[in-house]
Amino acid sequence: MYYSHFGLKEPPFKITPNTEVFYTGGNRGAVLDALIYAINSGEGIIKVVGEVGSGKTMLCRMLQTMLPEKIESIYLANPSVAPEDVLHAIAFELQLKLPKNADRLKVMQVLQTHLLARHAAGKQVVIFVEEAQGMPLATLEEIRLLSNLETKHDKLLQIVLFGQPELDENLNQANIRQLRERITHSFNLVPLQTKEIGEYLIFRLRAAGYFGPHLFSNTAISKIATSAEGLVRRVNILADKSLLAAFADNEYQVTPKHVQAAIADSEFGAEKSKQQAKQSQVFMWVALLVLGLALGYAASHWQQKQAIPSAQKPEIAELSLHQKRLKLQKIRMLIKLALQLLLQPKQAISARLRKKIF
């Protein structure tokens, strides 16, 4: 719809992984190179962890296109496969013919025979396991047993696990420690920083045929980075909707108002707004509580002052002047904090300020 308006030849921010527009920034290129090296080394199990939408599938597709011809790869995308079925699933991906009603031992024998034949032909086989965090632990253990298949010098099968951070939590369980010990290389896909998101946006625009100056203002990029939390998929969604909003306004640069419209129209943006609203309510009640404490403390101080006999006032005033100043200072601090919370409810109370007050 907006392609001709911005001089684009194709959609610049499709969320379907396209290896032709792989962004090497944000450490993605370095991780890809390290993965290729690790797979070529042929040792142990490899783990790649990243949040939802961080680019794990794109990385997996890139590996499949960039690995040398001697390495044959298969893709296991079903995370819910049962332990007794995972060997059959791998055999199916390898296009192996199994006897009817073949049991686990028979499937393992067929797999080993095939892998030995591929090794003799100078080939190496690698399995990419997607969404590994969703696999039952027993299935992960069954996959680990495949890593025991080896010759005198080489592993017959290389395994690469792609998963969300929950994968690390699963691997930390005691009953899966044997698999954890087999992991020789571990990589993390961290969220993109604001500068990297700006570079990513113009990279994708250029790949789609755009040749002009940056379509996204710096403030718009910052707003996208904050809302997307550095996740590539969210960046793509927001960038696409922001361009549509700018097109609807007949403008040629994306500004924060266009990004805000995109955020309001996205599922994760709406959810984040709800969370922020809840946080604002919490801070408002905390502010009111602190203000109440300040007023109560001030009232108590005034009552104590009125209760002092007039004959004793000069003497006590000389002895407790410093204490009175401290009390007044604490009252002012409580009131100031309450006002800050009411005016800026999204800001957290600093630990140092809490310590001073409480």
Does the structure show a pLDDT above 60 at 251? yes
The C-alpha torsion from 167 through 173 and 176 to 182, rounded to 10°, is: 70
Question: Which pLDDT does position 350 carry in this prediction?
Answer: 43
Question: Which pLDDT does position 345 carry in this prediction?
Answer: 46
Mean pLDDT of 208-225: 95
Q: In a 10 Å sphere around its CB, with 0-12 CB exposed, 13-18 middle and 19+ buried, how is residue 81 labelled?
A: buried
Question: Which pLDDT does position 67 carry in this prediction?
Answer: 93
Rg (CA), the chain: 30
Burial per residue of 163-190, b for 16 or more beta-carbon CB atoms within 10 angstroms, e otherwise: bbeebeebbeeeebeebbeeeebebebe
DSSP sequence for 65-130: HHS-TTEEEEEE--TT--HHHHHHHHHHHTT----TT--HHHHHHHHHHHHHHHHHTT-EEEEEET
- As a whole number of angstroms, the distance between CA 107 and CA 89 comes to 10
Question: Which pLDDT does position 215 carry in this prediction?
Answer: 95
Whether domain 27-189 has CATH 3.40.50.300: the reply is: yes
Domain ranges of the chain: 27-189, 194-268, 276-357
Does the structure show a pLDDT above 90 at 230? yes
pLDDT in tens, 279-326: 556 556 565 665 566 566 556 655 555 555 544 445 545 545 556 566
- As a whole number of angstroms, the distance between CA 241 and CA 207 comes to 18
Amino acid code (one letter) for 192:
L
Q: In a 10 Å sphere around its CB, with 0-12 CB exposed, 13-18 middle and 19+ buried, how is residue 200 labelled?
A: buried
Q: Report helix, strand or coil for 305.
A: helix
- As a whole number of angstroms, the distance between CA 235 and CA 228 comes to 6
pLDDT in tens, 120-158: 999 999 999 999 999 998 998 888 888 888 888 888 999
Question: Which pLDDT does position 228 carry in this prediction?
Answer: 94
Q: Which CATH entry fits the domain spanning 194-268: 3.30.450.40, 1.10.1740.10, 1.10.8.60, 1.10.3720.10?
A: 1.10.8.60
pLDDT in tens, 49-88: 999 999 999 999 999 999 999 999 999 888 788 888 889 9
Q: What is the DSSP letter of 308?
A: S
Contact (CB, 8 A) for 47 and 111: no
- As a whole number of angstroms, the distance between CA 236 and CA 124 comes to 35
- As a whole number of angstroms, the distance between CA 8 and CA 14 comes to 13
Average pLDDT, the chain: 83
The C-alpha torsion from 329 through 332 and 338 to 342, rounded to 10°, is: -140
Mean pLDDT of 225-235: 95
Question: Which pLDDT does position 83 carry in this prediction?
Answer: 86
Contact (CB, 8 A) for 265 and 241: yes
Question: Which pLDDT does position 199 carry in this prediction?
Answer: 97
pTM beyond 0.95, yes or no: no
Does the structure show a pLDDT above 80 at 355? no
